[in-house]
Amino acid sequence: MHADPAPESPQSGHLVSLQHQLRLLAATMTVAPESAEVVIMLTGVAQTADRAADDLAGCAPEVIILVRQAVGSAAEGRHELACTDLIAAHGRLAAVRRDRVRVPGHSARGRSPAQEGDPVRITQPESDRTTWSYQW
């Protein structure tokens, strides 16, 4: 008897791999858009996006669309547009993963809800060799 696999966590597997591939490919395309490595990396990112499609369908289908647009633009020689789509896909995927993984007791900005309205107190350093400290 086999159990169905659980839906993928935003911190594991295909989503993490896709995010890393998008970041690396965007950087590589900026430096050497017509290199053989970019062609190989585009194939890999397209395959990873296809594997992550079920995980992204409900929360961020635009990531899949952006990756497919990037692959198409690169095939047409429109490398700047492809790179823009890859960066947008990476940013959206990073936001989705960040929003889905929260530490209990913390809000989106990393502070506890009770502290949201508290003013920030800045303390001046005692000497030139110390750093400023910020307290909430």
CA distance 106 to 96: 17
Bridge partners (DSSP) listed for residue 70: none
Query: Hey, is 98 helix, strand or coil?
Result: helix
Neighbouring-strand partners of residue 121:
135
Mean pLDDT of 32-53: 94
Question: What's the rounded Cα separation, in Å, for the pair 17 and 15?
Answer: 5
Instruction: Output the pLDDT for position 68.
Output: 95
Compute the CA torsion angle 40, 42, 45, 47 (nearest 10 deg): -80
> Residue ranges of the domains in the chain?
13-100
> pLDDT category, 27, cuts 50, 70, 90?
very high
In which region does residue 13 sit, left (phi positive, over 0), alpha (psi from -120 to 50) or beta (all else)? left
85-99: per-residue pLDDT in tens? 999 999 999 998 888
Residues paired with 133 in a beta bridge: 123
The answer, yes or no, to whether residue 83 has pLDDT greater than 60, is: yes
Residue 103: the pLDDT is 46
**Mind listing the pLDDT tens digit for each residue in 102-136?**
544 444 444 444 445 555 555 555 555 544 444 44
Strands 121-123 and 133-135: antiparallel
* Residue 125: predicted pLDDT: 52
- What's residue 21's pLDDT? 96
Strand residue runs (E) in the chain:
121-123, 133-135
pTM: 0.65
